[in-house]
C-alpha cells in the first residue's frame, strides 16, 4: 500500500467541501486531459494566426495597415488579448478557487468561442470595425484567462505527482502544435477570406465547450463561499492596466522618435501602476480572504518558480519577436523573397523550435520523476541561454542549417523548463489555492512576454539608431536617389520601416509613399528590389540584434538561477488516500 501522496485514483467532485466524493476513472482523467489539450490548441492557434493575417484583416475592414489608424489598430489587436489575460488571471484564479475551477474553465471556453465567432462576423468598416475588433479581443482575453488559470490547476487536481509532468507536457504540445498550425492556417485562410481566420475556431470551440461541460464543469465545486475582495480586485486590475498600458504606449512612435519612452505620460502610467501595486500589498495582507494571495510567496518553490518563469518569458521575446523581425526584415528579403511572402515563410523557418518544444515538453515531464523539477527546469533554462549566445556568432546572412540547429536547442531548452517548473509551482501550494497560484503564475508570464516586446524593440532600435539612418541614406545616395529626397526619407523614424517589413510591406515603397516622393523608374526598381533594404541596413542592425541576444541570454540564465534556488521538491497533499493491493478501491485515511 502507498500513502502520503495522491494515488492513481483520486477523489473528484466537491472534495474541497464536506460532500461525498466519487472516484475518477482513468478514462475520465484522459478526457479531462483532452479537454485541456483542445483549449490550449485553440488559444495557441489564434495567437499565431492573427499575427500572420493582420494585414489582410485590416484591409478587409477597410483600414490601410500602414496608416496611423492601421498601426494603432495592429498594436491593439496584437496586445489587447495578452494584456487582458495578464490583468484578469490573478482575479479569475481566486474566484475559481471559490466557485469552482471546472465551472470557470467551461465558461471561459464558451466565452472564447463566442468572441471568436463575433470577430469573424464583425460588421462595418474603418474605425468602427477596428474598435469593435479590439473590444472583442479584450473580452476574448477574459475567456482565455479563465482557461489558462484553471487548466494547470485541474490537471494538478486529477493527476498524482508522479504523472503530472507528462500530463503538463502533453498540454505543452498543444501550444507548440497550435503555433505551427496557426501560422499555416492564418496564412492560407487570410488569402481566401480574413473572416475564416477567426471562424475556424467556432467548430473547435463548440466541441471543446461541450467536452468541458461533460468532463470538468463539476470538478471541483470550490471551497465555501467567502466575501469577494472587491477593493483588492479593483486595485490589482487598475495597477496592471496602468503598468501594461504604459509599456504598450512606450513602444509607439512619437513625433520624429522611434519610440515614446521620453514621453512623461508613459512613465506616469508605469509609475501609477507600480504605486497602486505597492499600496495594494499591505492592504491585502490585512484582509482575511484577499484576491491577491500574498501568503503564497512564503512558499519557496512557488516564489522562485514564478520568478524563473517571469525571466524565462522575458527572454522568450527574443524567440517570438526578435527572430521574426530578423527573418522578415533582413534574412528572407536579402535572399530575394518578396516582402508579402515573408510573414508566412518566417513562421515556417521558425518551426524547428516548436517541434523541439513539442518533443522535449513531455520528456521533461518524465524526467521529473528521476531527477526532480529543480534539476530539469534549471538545465532547460541554461540550454535556452546558451542558444541565445550562439545566435550572436551568426552573421546577418547566416547558414540556415546552423540557424535551425540553434532553434532546436532553443526549443529543447524551453520544453525542458516549462513542464517541470509548472509542476513544481502547482504541487507546492495548498489545493484550495491552486487556481489563485496558477493565475499569479500566468499573469507574471504574460507580463514578462509583453515587457519583452518593449525591451527587445528598444534594444534593437537603440543599438542601431546611431548608424541605421546613416547606412540607409548612404545606400539611397549610391543608388542615385536625389539628396533632397534622401533628407526627406531620413526624417521618417526607422521603426516605421521595420514595422512595414514586419507587416509584409516593402519598407522603401512605404517610405516613398509616406514622403510623397516619385523616383525615375530605373532608380525606383533598384531601391524597391527585395534585397536593397536589408543589404543597406544589415550592418547597422547587427549591433542591435547582438544586444538583444545577449540580454535574452542573461534573462534565461537568471531564470536558471531562480529555478535552482527553489530548493528540493515540495508537494502538498490535500487528499491522503490508502490503496488496496489490487488498486481497485482507495479509501480516505
Structure confidence at residue 12 as a pLDDT band (50, 70, 90): very low
CB-CB contact of 425 with 306 (8 Å): yes
Structure confidence at residue 226 as a pLDDT band (50, 70, 90): low
Distance CA 578, CA 589 (A): 6
Cell of 55: 494585414
Strand partners of residue 12? 22
Distance CA 449, CA 454 (A): 9
**Other residues' Cβ atoms within 10 Å of the Cβ of residue 207:** 15
pTM score over 0.75: yes
**Other residues' Cβ atoms within 10 Å of the Cβ of residue 406:** 22
What confidence score (pLDDT) does residue 255 get?
Answer: 62
Per 3-state DSSP, the chain is made up of helix, strand and coil in percentages (nearest 5) of 75, 0, 20
Tell me the pLDDT tens digit for each residue of 114-166: 999 999 999 988 999 999 999 999 999 899 888 877 887 788 778 777 777 77
Q: CA of 385: how far to CAs of 343, 349, 359, 502, in Å?
A: 26, 20, 19, 25
Does residue 169 register a pLDDT over 80? no
What confidence score (pLDDT) does residue 588 get?
Answer: 30
Sign of CA dihedral 445, 447, 449, 452: negative
Tell me the pLDDT tens digit for each residue of 71-90: 788 878 887 887 788 778 77
Distance CA 416, CA 561 (A): 15
Give which of 480, 469, 475, 471 is closest to 524, Cα–Cα. Answer: 480
Distance CA 172, CA 4 (A): 28
The rounded percent of the chain whose pLDDT value lies above 90 is 21
Alpha helices in 479-506 (DSSP H): 483-490, 494-502
Tell me the pLDDT tens digit for each residue of 229-259: 778 878 877 887 888 778 777 766 666 666 6
Tell me the pLDDT tens digit for each residue of 440-492: 777 777 777 777 877 787 777 776 766 777 888 888 999 999 988 888 888 77
What confidence score (pLDDT) does residue 15 get?
Answer: 34
What confidence score (pLDDT) does residue 65 get?
Answer: 81
> Is the model more confident about 313 or about 450?
313
Cell of 21: 466524493
What confidence score (pLDDT) does residue 121 get?
Answer: 94
Q: Are strands 22-23 and 11-12 parallel, antiparallel or unpaired?
A: antiparallel
The per-residue pLDDT of the chain, averaged, comes to: 80
**Other residues' Cβ atoms within 10 Å of the Cβ of residue 393:** 11
Cell of 170: 502533453
What confidence score (pLDDT) does residue 564 get?
Answer: 93
Cell of 226: 467567502
CB-CB contact of 144 with 81 (8 Å): yes
What confidence score (pLDDT) does residue 48 get?
Answer: 75
Does residue 9 register a pLDDT over 70? no
Distance CA 228, CA 224 (A): 12
**Other residues' Cβ atoms within 10 Å of the Cβ of residue 121:** 12
The mean pLDDT of 527-556, rounded to a whole number, is 88
Amino acid at each position: 500500500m502507498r500513502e502520503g501522496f495522491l494515488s492513481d485514483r483520486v477523489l473528484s467532485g466537491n472534495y474541497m467541501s464536506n460532500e461525498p466524493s466519487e472516484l475518477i476513472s482513468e478514462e475520465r482523467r484522459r478526457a479531462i486531459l483532452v479537454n485541456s489539450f483542445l483549449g490550449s490548441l485553440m488559444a495557441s492557434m489564434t495567437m499565431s494566426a492573427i499575427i500572420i493575417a493582420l494585414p489582410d484583416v485590416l484591409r478587409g475592414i477597410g483600414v490601410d495597415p500602414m496608416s496611423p489608424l492601421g498601426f494603432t489598430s495592429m498594436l491593439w489587436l496584437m496586445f489587447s488579448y495578452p494584456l487582458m489575460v495578464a490583468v484578469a488571471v490573478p482575479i479569475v484564479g481566486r474566484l475559481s478557487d471559490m466557485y469552482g475551477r471546472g465551472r470557470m474553465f467551461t465558461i471561459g471556453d464558451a466565452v472564447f468561442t463566442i468572441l471568436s465567432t463575433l470577430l469573424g462576423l464583425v460588421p462595418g468598416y474603418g474605425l468602427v470595425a477596428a474598435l469593435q475588433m479590439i473590444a472583442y479581443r479584450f473580452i476574448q482575453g477574459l475567456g482565455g484567462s479563465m482557461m489558462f488559470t484553471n487548466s494547470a490547476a485541474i490537471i494538478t487536481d486529477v493527476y498524482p505527482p508522479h504523472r503530472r509532468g507528462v500530463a503538463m507536457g502533453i498540454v505543452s504540445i498543444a501550444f507548440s502544435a497550435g503555433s505551427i498550425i496557426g501560422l499555416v492556417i492564418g496564412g492560407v485562410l487570410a488569402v481566401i477570406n480574413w473572416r475564416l481566420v477567426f471562424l475556424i475556431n467556432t467548430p473547435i470551440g463548440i466541441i471543446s465547450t461541450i467536452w468541458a461541460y461533460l468532463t470538468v464543469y463539476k470538478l471541483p465545486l470550490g471551497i465555501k463561499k467567502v466575501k469577494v475582495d472587491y477593493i483588492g480586485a479593483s486595485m490589482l486590475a487598475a495597477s496592471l492596466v496602468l503598468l501594461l498600458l504604459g509599456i504598450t504606449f512606450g513602444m509607439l512612435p512619437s513625433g520624429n522618435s522611434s519610440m515614446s519612452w521620453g514621453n512623461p505620460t508613459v512613465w506616469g502610467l508605469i509609475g501609477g501602476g507600480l504605486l497602486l501595486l505597492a499600496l495594494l500589498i499591505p492592504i491585502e495582507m490585512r484582509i482575511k480572504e484577499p484576491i491577491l494571495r500574498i501568503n503564497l510567496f512564503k512558499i519557496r518553490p512557488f516564489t522562485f518558480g514564478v520568478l524563473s518563469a517571469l525571466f524565462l518569458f522575458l527572454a522568450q521575446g527574443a524567440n517570438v519577436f526578435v527572430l521574426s523581425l530578423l527573418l522578415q526584415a533582413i534574412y528572407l528579403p536579402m535572399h530575394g523573397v518578396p516582402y508579402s511572402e515573408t510573414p508566412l515563410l518566417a513562421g515556417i523557418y521558425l518551426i524547428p523550435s516548436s517541434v523541439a518544444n513539442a518533443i522535449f515538453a513531455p520528456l521533461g515531464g518524465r524526467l521529473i520523476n528521476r531527477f526532480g523539477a529543480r534539476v530539469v527546469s534549471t538545465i532547460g533554462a541554461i540550454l535556452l541561454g546558451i542558444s541565445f549566445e550562439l545566435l550572436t556568432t551568426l552573421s546577418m546572412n547566416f547558414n540556415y542549417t546552423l540557424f535551425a540547429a540553434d532553434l532546436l536547442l532553443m526549443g529543447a531548452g524551453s520544453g525542458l523548463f516549462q513542464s517541470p517548473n509548472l509542476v513544481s509551482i502547482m504541487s507546492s501550494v495548498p489545493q484550495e489555492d491552486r487556481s489563485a497560484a496558477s493565475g499569479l503564475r500566468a499573469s507574471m508570464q504574460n507580463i514578462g512576454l509583453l515587457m519583452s516586446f518593449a525591451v527587445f524593440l528598444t534594444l534593437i532600435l537603440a543599438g542601431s539608431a546611431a548608424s541605421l539612418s546613416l547606412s540607409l541614406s548612404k545606400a539611397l545616395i549610391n543608388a542615385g536617389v536625389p539628396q533632397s529626397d534622401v533628407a526627406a526619407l531620413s526624417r521618417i523614424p526607422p521603426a516605421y520601416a521595420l514595422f512595414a517589413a514586419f507587416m509584409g510591406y516593402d519598407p522603401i515603397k512605404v517610405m516613398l509613399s509616406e514622403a510623397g516622393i516619385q523616383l525615375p523608374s530605373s532608380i525606383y526598381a533598384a531601391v524597391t528590389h527585395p534585397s536593397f533594404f536589408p543589404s543597406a541596413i544589415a550592418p547597422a542592425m547587427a549591433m542591435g540584434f547582438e544586444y538583444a541576444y545577449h540580454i535574452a541570454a542573461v534573462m534565461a540564465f537568471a531564470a536558471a538561477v531562480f529555478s535552482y534556488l527553489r530548493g528540493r521538491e515540495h508537494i502538498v497533499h490535500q487528499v491522503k488516500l490508502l490503496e488496496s493491493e489490487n488498486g481497485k478501491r482507495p479509501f480516505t485515511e
